[in-house]
């Protein structure tokens, strides 16, 4: 099964074209950047004004929460108001649970997103083959009217699968796995195609970057086998805000873009929606530079499996390699927090480690022989290629094919004066390799002194965390907020962070609503979820522990719960 032509050369996957109003997406069209409003969809003035801000920032599609028929009708007014101002940005209705709402929205605006996980209700427990087929029948019957409305009105459909809200029948058959995510998506694709409806876009999102990347790769590989070329929308859900949100998104989205996958992206940040656009744009622009690059000649290692994470076996040299978490190395001599594992300079090189600097172009038979004879050499792997991911992958595949197990540090040097740009580029480059199981450490340097050593150090730790290879801080899973959000998500997230950021082994979710929040927070240890106006429910894993706590008491109740569980030390 193949999800891309080669691991080493950038080749954008050629998909079918979806038409969304006047916008084309997929094929050779540019990768579209979009966002989602967090206004009350029934508030015309605020919704129009936010759509305008997203557009002004460069957003090419704007999605709105569409809980009910009333919101679907409000979308028609939002569209009319925007069109009257000469603004043609296509609007997308985000619909969960209620096919009737999707049908109403499809008559008014350019695109509707449905979630296969909750399009029709399933039941818990086991599914016999017959029950499974009966449920597919139910979906077929419920989807047909929507498809007809889409065909009549030229409306596009996004089949948007989320890790946190898989249908019970899928979980029963495949588990909560990348295979289940891909299967859920393909079931709906087949139903659309059998009705000769092709104006569809697919997405599989998760807050876990590894799950998201593997699931999308699997989906593409399965589509390739079946001769399907549906365009893809990429995103990491509940990425949070600030540095973490940007880095997590760049690891997940950047890895797939580097694979040549993705026709539109949304970076979900718990910030103002227009803030998402420049982040997405920078990612797309950075990866797109790889088009038509000088080819990288390499042979893939035969046993490498891109659908199943396996860290490359490496030789242990003191703190580096083997089963130890990847290290952070710095060339700075400042005191930094968290403390890097190795302060590297040429003296250190002589005293503690035998580092050797290499790039793929230097990897010849003599070098391979020397590496094999000296497993204690730790390789500082560099790349000057416009496609560093492809070139570094070529290096690792060559080591794998020759059974060379020297530990390898991924080294990248940038020339940025803007921290966000550095974070996005480093996360996209290094995250893609770490998710492949490559790298025993990272060393990031920047030629421009405008970015502090502390910021670079923090970026390095955040990349390891976002790539799921090393936890060094509390993991926050926070929804970006939308029209369903029941509190001020940004200030609440910051309050929760301020009180819990010392709990570095925990995953804490802050979710705006009880409708989608508990499902979407997937693997969080604790959840702080909006339950009603001014009311919060607290979760331990998926279990609701206390309901409807007044908002002003909820953070201290969360701390109490963590303390009672003995997880605050």
Q: Which of the ranges 155-163, 271-279, 437-445, 510-518 carries the binding residues for ligand SF4, by CB under 6 A?
A: 510-518
Residue 37 interacts with ligand SF4 (CB under 6 A): yes or no = no
Q: How many CB atoms lie within 10 A of CB 334?
A: 11
Q: Which of the ranges 128-136, 356-364, 388-396, 505-513 carries the binding residues for ligand SF4, by CB under 6 A?
A: 505-513
Residue 520 interacts with ligand SF4 (CB under 6 A): yes or no = yes
Residue 479 interacts with ligand SF4 (CB under 6 A): yes or no = yes
Q: Which of the ranges 55-63, 175-183, 447-455, 513-521 carries the binding residues for ligand SF4, by CB under 6 A?
A: 513-521
Sequence-separated (6 or more) residues with CB below 8 Å from residue 550: 534, 535, 536
Is 282 or 485 the residue whose CB approaches ligand SF4 more closely?
A: 485
Is 378 or 524 the residue whose CB approaches ligand SF4 more closely?
A: 524
For the CB of residue 516, give the shortest distance to ligand SF4 in the complex, in Å.
4
Give the bridge partners for 159, in sequence order. 114, 202
Report phi then psi at 26, rounded to 5.
95, -170
Residue 485 interacts with ligand SF4 (CB under 6 A): yes or no = yes
Among 263, 480, 496, 497, binds ligand SF4 (CB under 6 A): 480
DSSP β-ladder status, 17-20 and 23-26: antiparallel
Question: Is residue 196 left, alpha or beta, with left meaning phi > 0 and alpha meaning psi from -120 to 50?
Answer: left
Distance CA 413, CA 400 (A): 25
For the CB of residue 280, give the shortest distance to ligand SF4 in the complex, in Å.
17
For the CB of residue 216, give the shortest distance to ligand SF4 in the complex, in Å.
20
Query: What is the x/- site pattern for ligand SF4, positions 78-97, by CB under 6 A?
Result: --------------------
Is 90 or 512 the residue whose CB approaches ligand SF4 more closely?
A: 512
Q: What is the DSSP letter of 360?
A: G
Per-residue b or e along 162-193, where b marks 16 or more CB atoms closer than 10 Å to that residue's CB:
bbbbbbbbbbbbbeebbbbbbbbbbbbbebbe
The residue whose two tokens read 């569809």 is 200
For the CB of residue 515, give the shortest distance to ligand SF4 in the complex, in Å.
6
Query: Reduced to 3 states, what is the DSSP secondary structure of residue 367?
Result: helix
Is 118 or 222 the residue whose CB approaches ligand SF4 more closely?
A: 118
Among 112, 482, 496, 509, binds ligand SF4 (CB under 6 A): 482
Distance CA 127, CA 132 (A): 6
Is 169 or 266 the residue whose CB approaches ligand SF4 more closely?
A: 266
Question: Residues 562, 526: contact at Cβ < 8 Å?
Answer: yes
Query: What is the x/- site pattern for ligand SF4, positions 335-374, by CB under 6 A?
Result: ----------------------------------------
Sequence-separated (6 or more) residues with CB below 8 Å from residue 62: 34, 35, 36, 37, 50, 51, 54, 55, 89, 90, 91, 92
Residue 536 interacts with ligand SF4 (CB under 6 A): yes or no = no
Among 63, 290, 484, 497, binds ligand SF4 (CB under 6 A): 484
Is 26 or 252 the residue whose CB approaches ligand SF4 more closely?
A: 252
Per-residue b or e along 469-484, where b marks 16 or more CB atoms closer than 10 Å to that residue's CB:
bbebbbbbbbbbbbbb
For the CB of residue 118, give the shortest distance to ligand SF4 in the complex, in Å.
11
Residue 206 interacts with ligand SF4 (CB under 6 A): yes or no = no
Among 41, 118, 481, 492, binds ligand SF4 (CB under 6 A): 481
Sequence-separated (6 or more) residues with CB below 8 Å from residue 310: 437
Residue 101 interacts with ligand SF4 (CB under 6 A): yes or no = no
Nearest residue to ligand SF4, scored by beta-carbon proximity: 512
Give the bridge partners for 34, in sequence order. 61
Question: CA of 384: how far to CAs of 198, 359, 360, 413, 539, in Å?
Answer: 41, 8, 10, 9, 47
Distance CA 265, CA 58 (A): 13
For the CB of residue 519, give the shortest distance to ligand SF4 in the complex, in Å.
9
For residue 170, the surrounding DSSP H or E stretch is helix 168-174
For the CB of residue 93, give the shortest distance to ligand SF4 in the complex, in Å.
13
Is 113 or 393 the residue whose CB approaches ligand SF4 more closely?
A: 113
Residue 524 interacts with ligand SF4 (CB under 6 A): yes or no = no
Report phi then psi at 475, rounded to 5.
-95, 125
For 310-316, the CB contacts below 8 A with 24+ separation are: 310/437, 311/437, 311/469, 312/396, 312/399, 312/400, 312/437, 312/438, 313/405, 314/405, 314/406, 314/407, 314/408, 314/440, 315/375, 315/376, 315/405, 315/406, 315/407, 316/407
Is 204 or 513 the residue whose CB approaches ligand SF4 more closely?
A: 513
Residue 517 interacts with ligand SF4 (CB under 6 A): yes or no = yes
Q: Which of the ranges 273-281, 288-296, 511-519, 544-552 carries the binding residues for ligand SF4, by CB under 6 A?
A: 511-519
Tell the burial category of 130 from Cβ atoms under 10 Å away from its Cβ (0-12, 13-18, 19+). Answer: exposed
Residue 117 interacts with ligand SF4 (CB under 6 A): yes or no = no
Secondary structure percentages of the chain, helix, strand, coil, to 5 = 40, 20, 40
Q: Which of the ranges 381-389, 465-473, 516-524, 535-543 carries the binding residues for ligand SF4, by CB under 6 A?
A: 516-524
Residue 266 interacts with ligand SF4 (CB under 6 A): yes or no = no
Total of chain residues touching ligand SF4, rule CB under 6 A: 13
Residue 271 interacts with ligand SF4 (CB under 6 A): yes or no = no
Distance CA 387, CA 382 (A): 12
Residue 394 interacts with ligand SF4 (CB under 6 A): yes or no = no
Is 6 or 237 the residue whose CB approaches ligand SF4 more closely?
A: 237
Among 105, 112, 456, 511, binds ligand SF4 (CB under 6 A): 511
Residue 321 interacts with ligand SF4 (CB under 6 A): yes or no = no
For the CB of residue 235, give the shortest distance to ligand SF4 in the complex, in Å.
12
Is 437 or 480 the residue whose CB approaches ligand SF4 more closely?
A: 480
Sequence-separated (6 or more) residues with CB below 8 Å from residue 460: 328, 330, 340, 426, 442, 444
Among 512, 531, 537, 538, binds ligand SF4 (CB under 6 A): 512
Give the bridge partners for 26, in sequence order. 17
Residues interacting with ligand SF4, by CB under 6 A? 479-482, 484-485, 511-513, 515-517, 520
């Amino acid at each position: 099964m193949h999800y891309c032509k080669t691991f080493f050369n950038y080749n954008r996957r050629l998909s079918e074209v979806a038409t969304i109003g006047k916008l084309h997406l997929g094929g050779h069209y540019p990768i579209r950047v979009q966002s989602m409003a967090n206004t009350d969809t029934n508030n015309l003035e605020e919704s129009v004004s936010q759509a305008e801000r997203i557009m002004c920032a460069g957003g090419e599609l704007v999605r709105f929460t569409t809980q009910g028929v009333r919101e679907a009708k409000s979308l028609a007014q939002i569209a009319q108001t925007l069109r009257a101002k000469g603004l043609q940005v296509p609007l997308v209705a985000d619909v969960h649970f209620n096919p009737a709402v999707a049908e109403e929205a499809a008559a008014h605006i350019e695109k509707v997103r449905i979630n296969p996980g909750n399009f029709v209700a399933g039941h818990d427990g086991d599914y016999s083959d017959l029950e499974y087929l009966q449920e597919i029948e139910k979906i077929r019957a419920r989807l047909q009217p929507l498809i007809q409305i889409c065909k009549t009105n030229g409306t596009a459909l996004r089949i948007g699968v989320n890790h946190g809200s898989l249908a019970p029948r899928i979980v029963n058959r495949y588990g909560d796995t990348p295979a289940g995510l891909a299967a859920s998506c393909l079931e709906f694709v087949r139903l659309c195609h059998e009705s000769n409806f092709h104006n569809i876009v697919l997405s599989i999102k998760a807050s876990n970057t590894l799950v998201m990347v593997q699931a999308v790769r699997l989906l593409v590989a399965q589509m390739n086998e079946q001769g399907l070329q549906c365009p893809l929308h990429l995103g990491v859900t509940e990425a949070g805000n600030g540095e973490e949100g940007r880095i997590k998104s760049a690891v997940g989205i950047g890895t797939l873009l580097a694979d040549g996958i993705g026709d539109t992206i949304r970076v979900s940040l718990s910030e103002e929606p227009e803030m998402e656009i420049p982040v997405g744009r920078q990612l797309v622009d950075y990866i797109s530079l790889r088009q038509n690059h000088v080819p990288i000649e390499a042979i893939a290692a035969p046993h490498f499996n891109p659908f199943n994470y396996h860290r490359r076996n490496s030789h242990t040299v003191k703190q580096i390699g083997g089963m130890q978490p990847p290290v952070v190395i710095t060339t700075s001599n400042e005191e930094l927090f968290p403390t890097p594992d190795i302060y590297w300079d040429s003296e250190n090189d002589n005293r503690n480690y035998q580092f050797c600097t290499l790039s793929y172009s230097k990897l010849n038979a003599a070098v391979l022989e020397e590496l094999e004879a000296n497993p204690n050499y730790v390789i500082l792997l560099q790349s000057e290629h416009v496609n560093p991911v492809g070139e570094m992958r070529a290096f690792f595949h060559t080591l794998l094919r020759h059974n060379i197990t020297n530990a390898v540090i991924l080294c990248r040097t940038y020339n940025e004066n803007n921290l966000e740009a550095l974070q996005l580029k480093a996360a996209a480059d290094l995250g893609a390799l770490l998710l492949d199981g490559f790298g025993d450490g990272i060393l990031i340097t920047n030629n421009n002194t405008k970015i502090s050593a502390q910021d670079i150090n923090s970026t390095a730790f955040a990349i390891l965390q976002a790539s799921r290879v090393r936890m060094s801080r509390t993991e926050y899973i926070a929804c970006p907020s939308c029209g369903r959000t029941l509190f001020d998500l940004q200030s609440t997230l910051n309050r929760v962070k301020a009180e819990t950021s010392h709990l570095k082994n925990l995953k804490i979710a802050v979710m705006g609503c009880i409708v989608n929040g508990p499902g979407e927070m997937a693997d969080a240890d604790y959840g702080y979820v909006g339950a009603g106006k001014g009311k919060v429910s607290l979760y331990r894993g998926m279990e609701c522990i206390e309901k409807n706590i007044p908002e002003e008491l909820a953070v201290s109740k969360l701390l109490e719960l963590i303390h009672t569980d003995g997880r605050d030390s």
